[in-house]
Structure 1
Amino acid sequence: MSIEATRAARLRAVALIAVVLAGGGGYWLGTQRGGGTAATEATGPGGKILYYYDPMFPNQKFDKPGKSPFMDMQLMPKYADGAGPGAAPGVSIDSSAMQNLGIRVVAAKTGTLASTLNVTGNIEFNQRDVAVVQARSGGFVQRVYARAPGDVIGAGAPVADVQLPEWGGAQTEFLSVRRIGNPSLTAAARQRLRLLGMSDSVIAGVERSGRTNGTVTITSPISGVIQTLDARAGVTLAMGQTLAQVTGLGTVWLNAAVPEAQAGAVRVGQSATATLTAFPGETFGGRVIAILPTAQTDSRTLTVRIELANRGGRLRPGMFAQVGLGGDARPALLVPSEAVIRTGTRTIVMLASKDGRYHPAEVRTGREGGGQTEILEGLREGEQVVASGQFLLDSEASLTGIAVRPLGGAK
């Protein structure tokens, strides 16, 4: 290479270095006059801005505002917690971000909460209203009336005609003693007929006619549905053998499944209402008569037995019902149920401070009803809680490491 070419190359290199140094110096001067970079020195309504982030991806940080590359929304500023002297730790959100996130704040207040528990249940037969039709003496069935299991019969409806030879012999002795005219012997003979199972009407008929009647018509003592029917024509019967079993329909049981976590709110004698799709717009009232002592292990529920009047027999076993278990209303400190966050290990709410910051507080809850939850511990009346958008705030507080105010901290 010639001496002139080498000299020209050196001049071009020196010129390039001068341009780079001049650009860097100008940039350094600009940053010094402008007071620092936008990411470290920018301020907003909530104080000093540390960085910008997408609420749906809070781990990703950006040094300048703009639209999120992940979601169709603007990046939110992250303010320096505790920027002011004596400021409590918390999450800061400016007013525009609150509107975009749909954050709504309400005050905890004292109100009346009726403990209404809504569950489901099924209607079943009242197993306390059961009649067993038996043969009071040995014999055989002469006639069977047109009955079958599942038939609904009234009180006094005939089931079968049964011939009882022992009754015939006892009635003959009674008529013979009666002819003697000794009142004490007659009374004793009449009592023997009663012990054999004869009703007073049967005994009166024998006295009136003077003839024996060893055939008796077995009737149902109650109105209801035939559950079992073992009476068949020509069948020989032993004493005490069951001919039929009848279950009454005047009242039915509604077995409601109550979650074990809410079993403490139910008691015997409590009022209850039931609605069925078969009867839209109609409500059936009843009361709790028993809480069964065992829980269902698969569904973790307790069975609460409710007795309902069954006028006209419209409530049929097997029907599905929506059940409302009512209780006495009493005053309580209430917050919207949507404001409560249940993490599995504890229950918290997001508190809104007067300085615009948000921080979590642990609470102990009680009853629920009408979209309101009772706060037993952890809040004071008048404290502001976040009723919507609180999950984003809770996530941000967890990422920032803000401590949860413990129970007993609301003094």
Structure 2
Amino acid sequence: MTMNPKNTARWAAAFLTVASVAGVGGFWLGKRDPSQRSDTSAAQNGRKILYWYDPMVPTERYNNPNSLSSMGMKTIPKYADEVPDAGPGVRVDADARQSLGMRVATVTFGSLPSGLTVTGTIDFNQRDIAIVQSRSSGFVTRVYARAAGDVIGAGAPIADLQLPEWGGAQGEFLAVKRLGQEDLAHAARQRLKLMGMSDALINEVERTGRTNGTVTIRAPIAGAIQALDVREGMTVAAGQSLAQISGIRTVWLNAAVPEAQANLIRIGQGARIALSAFPGESFTGKVTAILPITQPDSRTMTVRIELANRGGRLRPGMFASVSFDGDNRSALLVPRDALIRTGARTLIMLALPDGRYRPAEVRTGRESGDKTEIVAGLSAGEKVVVSGQFLLDSEASLAGVSARPIGDKQ
């Protein structure tokens, strides 16, 4: 179907009065060329009739000029010279395109900016935890000045334990050494190591020839003491927990992302963090996990970001604002204004050669700003209508032009 400037007013009127079936039908019938109003005049002009149809129900076709459509409207003829010979679609000449102010955009590959900002709180890195235990039964002879919440360095002393079992095993080791049997001495030394004694303690016993059943328990990592269950004079059993230490070299930022926007987040995605405690300063990190549980009260998902904690400045409980970087995945993008959402499906109006236009069904993905990802239905380099597409879609529907299905590139 060809459109010229004389038909531009007819397009606008048909589009604005689509709610009135009778009015639209009368408008289109009234605007037809007089040669199309009767079969007799058509025969006189030598025009070939393909079938009869109702413009309001273009998918119904009849072979009888006296037929009524399912809407009760009298059918009109469809002529062979009205069918585009260059392929499916509606045709619009250059003057009509200019009058309608139609704009066309090219389908391209690109990355979507995230534009997503959420809130979160700092927490300890739960993968960086050390549990300090007693390796043998004994009692506490000294507790150093420590308390829960203290930040200590690696190797800092926590408590001194007197372990009688260690003293007995060291005495046996020294006795075997005096026998001069290397294999027995080696076996006795291995026993001391299995009991939890360090090489430095064993070497000291071997060098001095004296037993030492007192051991100083030290922090294996630098961090904050979460629990301290040791007091001077208390008895401890083998395997008893004495302290729990959380490392502070790195921390977690738990960000609350609305479930409706969870598809914008990917593992490894970068994030920029602003903390209320450090105004004007920005921190960076990466998404390390997206927890599988949605909070039922807030309908948010927890996104975990790992941050380096230089100088121990980031403390658990701090409030933060998180802005996620754009997804680096390449995606097929079109302007959001080009989409025609019908509820049942999403259409886009293709700009074809020779001034033709045809609707195409598409499947969309993520959206950000004025761009929308096309998952299926389009190829890079195709052109889509950004302005005036709704009027074109109405004209295509009236002309019986079907939308290009997903997967069809013709």
- Structure-1-length-normalised TM-score: 0.63
Larger Rg: 1
Separation in 1, partners of 2:327, 2:144: 47
Question: Structure 1 residues 343, 240: closer, same or farther in 2, change over 3 A?
Answer: farther
Partner AA of 1:137 in structure 2: S
- 1:110 is aligned to 108
Partner AA of 1:232 in structure 2: R
- Structure-2-length-normalised TM-score: 0.63
- Aligned residue pairs: how many? 341
- 2:53 is aligned to none
Partner AA of 1:384 in structure 2: V
- 2:163 is aligned to 164
Separation in 2, partners of 1:200, 1:264: 53
Question: Structure 1 residues 201, 148: closer, same or farther in 2, change over 3 A?
Answer: same
Partner AA of 2:107 in structure 1: K
- 1:223 is aligned to 222
Shift of 1:371: 3.8
- 2:146 is aligned to 147
1:22-171 equivalences under 5 Å are 46-47=7-8, 49=10, 80=28, 105-113=103-111, 118=116, 120=118, 123-171=122-170
Shift of 1:254: 4.6
Partner AA of 2:104 in structure 1: V
Question: Over residues 46-100 of structure 1, what are the superposed CA-to-partner deviations in whole Å (9 max), with x where a residue is unaligned?
Answer: 4555997997x98699x9xxxxxxxxxxxxxx97498575696799xx99996xx
- 2:328 is aligned to 327
- 2:212 is aligned to 213
Separation in 1, partners of 2:178, 2:397: 105
Question: Over residues 107-138 of structure 1, what are the superposed CA-to-partner deviations in whole Å (9 max), with x where a residue is unaligned?
Answer: 13323336868575655433332211000111
Question: Over residues 230-279 of structure 1, what are the superposed CA-to-partner deviations in whole Å (9 max), with x where a residue is unaligned?
Answer: 11223221110001112222233455658588659846xx4534433356
- 1:248 is aligned to 247
Indicate conservation of the 8 Å contact 1:123/1:317, yes or no. yes
- 1:386 is aligned to 386
- 1:173 is aligned to 172
Partner AA of 2:384 in structure 1: Q
- 2:70 is aligned to none
Separation in 2, partners of 1:54, 1:208: 100
- Give secondary structure in 1 for the equivalent of 2:275: coil
Question: Over residues 304-342 of structure 1, what are the superposed CA-to-partner deviations in whole Å (9 max), with x where a residue is unaligned?
Answer: 55544433334444453333364344xx54311343355
- 2:363 is aligned to 364
Shift of 1:167: 1.8
Partner AA of 2:169 in structure 1: A
Question: Structure 1 residues 51, 136: closer, same or farther in 2, change over 3 A?
Answer: closer
- 2:44 is aligned to none
- 1:340 is aligned to 339
Separation in 1, partners of 2:128, 2:365: 38
Shift of 1:219: 0.6
Work out which of the residue numbers 293, 296, 301 in structure 1 matches 2:294: 296
Question: Structure 1 residues 237, 286: closer, same or farther in 2, change over 3 A?
Answer: same
Partner AA of 1:236 in structure 2: T
Q: Which runs of 5+ in 2 are unaligned?
A: 34-81
Indicate conservation of the 8 Å contact 1:48/1:80, yes or no. no
Indicate conservation of the 8 Å contact 1:138/1:239, yes or no. yes
Separation in 2, partners of 1:328, 1:96: 37
Q: Percent identity?
A: 48
Separation in 2, partners of 1:297, 1:346: 31
Question: Structure 1 residues 281, 260: closer, same or farther in 2, change over 3 A?
Answer: same
Indicate conservation of the 8 Å contact 2:11/2:395, yes or no. no
Separation in 1, partners of 2:218, 2:311: 22
Question: Over residues 373-398 of structure 1, what are the superposed CA-to-partner deviations in whole Å (9 max), with x where a residue is unaligned?
Answer: 233444464433226x87x8699899
Partner AA of 2:385 in structure 1: V
Work out which of the residue numbers 274, 277, 282 in structure 2 matches 1:276: 274
Partner AA of 2:328 in structure 1: G
Worse-superposed segment, 112-121 or 244-253 = 112-121
Worse-superposed segment, 294-303 or 207-216 = 294-303
Separation in 1, partners of 2:156, 2:341: 60
Indicate conservation of the 8 Å contact 1:254/1:305, yes or no. yes
Indicate conservation of the 8 Å contact 1:141/1:163, yes or no. yes
